[in-house]
Amino acid sequence: MTKNNNWNIRTELLLGKEKIKKLKRSSVLIAGIGGVGAFVAEYLCRAGVGRITLVDSDTVDITNLNRQLPALHSTLGKVKVDLVAKRLRDINPEANIKAIQAYLKDENIPQILGSDHLDCVVDAIDTLSPKVHLILNCLNLKIKVVSSMGSGGKLDPSHVRVTDISKTFNCGLARAVRKRLKKHKIYKGFKAVFSPENTKGEVITFDGDDEDSITNKKSLVGTISYMPSVVACHCAAEVIKILTNL
C-alpha cells in the first residue's frame, strides 16, 4: 500500500477537497474549555479547521477528572487553554491555535471577538451571564454561534439534539437563556445543543454568600463521563455544517 502523507485523507474522502480547503481557511472561537468545549476544539482541529481560538480563565481541578479532556493528575492546577492548545498543535502543527486565558465579561467580549475574523463561535460556557453576553455580541456582529446548553444532570445520550434556541424545551439553562434574551427582544436566530431529559441526581443550590462570585454559579448538578463529549459531537457537527455549507 502506498504511503500517503495527507493526515486528513479520510476527511477529504468524505467531504471532498473543496470543503477541506474551506475548513482550512476557517476561523472558530470556542468559549469555555471545560467538559464540552475541549472536545469541540479537538473535533474541529482533527477535521482540519485552520484557525482555532480557545478562551477560558480556568485551571484543571481534581473534580474535572471525571469528564474533561485535559484533566489528568499530571495536569492538576495547570491552565486549561494552554493544555488544549498544546494538544491541538500536536494534532495539526500547521493550524493557527490561539489560547486566551480570560473570564468572559460584557466589557471584554467585543475585543476578543474582534481580534480575528471569525466564521463561527462555539459557546460552551456553563454560567448564565457571560453566556448571554457572548451570544448577544455574536448576534450583533452577525457571527454564527452554536451554543451548548450543557450536559449536567443528563444520562441518556440519545436525547441530545440541535435546534433553534426558540425550540428548546425542558432544559433549565436554555429556559434561563431564553428569558435573558427576551429582555433584548431576541427570541431566535442561533442553534442550541440541548437535552430535554429530566435532570437526574442531586442538585446543590448556593444561597447568598455561598454563591461563587467568580463563576457566578448558583447551583451544581452531577455529571457523567460521556455526556460532555456527546454534546460536543453535536456542536462540532453543526459548526462543520456552517463552515462547509453542508
Residue 38 has pLDDT above 60, yes or no: yes
Asked whether residue 10 is assigned to any structural domain, the reply reads: no
Asked whether residue 221 is assigned to any structural domain, the reply reads: yes
Tens-digit pLDDT profile for residues 143-182: 999 999 988 999 999 999 999 999 999 999 999 999 999 9
215 band by pLDDT with thresholds 50, 70 and 90: very low
Write the DSSP string, 15-72: H-HHHHHHHHH-EEEEE--STTHHHHHHHHHHHT-SEEEEE---B--GGGTTT-TT--
Residue 212 has pLDDT above 60, yes or no: no
Report whether 230 contacts 206 (CB < 8 A).
no
Cell of 142: 452577525
Number of domains in the chain: 1
pTM for this entry: 0.92
CA neighbor of 50 nearest in space, from 20, 84, 6: 20
Instruction: Give backbone dihedrals phi and psi of 212, rounded to 5 degrees, phi first.
Output: -70, 115
Asked whether residue 86 is assigned to any structural domain, the reply reads: yes
Please report, for the domain that includes residue 231, its CATH number: 3.40.50.720
State what percent of residues in the chain have pLDDT above 90.
84
Asked whether residue 9 is assigned to any structural domain, the reply reads: no
Model pLDDT, residue 63: 96
Q: Which domain holds residue 201?
A: 15-244
Asked whether residue 7 is assigned to any structural domain, the reply reads: no
| d(C-alpha 56, C-alpha 36), whole Å | 12
Query: Which one-letter amino acid corresponds to residue 7?
Result: W
Asked whether residue 55 is assigned to any structural domain, the reply reads: yes
Model pLDDT, residue 216: 54
Asked whether residue 6 is assigned to any structural domain, the reply reads: no
Asked whether residue 93 is assigned to any structural domain, the reply reads: yes
Tens-digit pLDDT profile for residues 59-94: 999 999 999 999 999 999 999 999 999 999 999 999
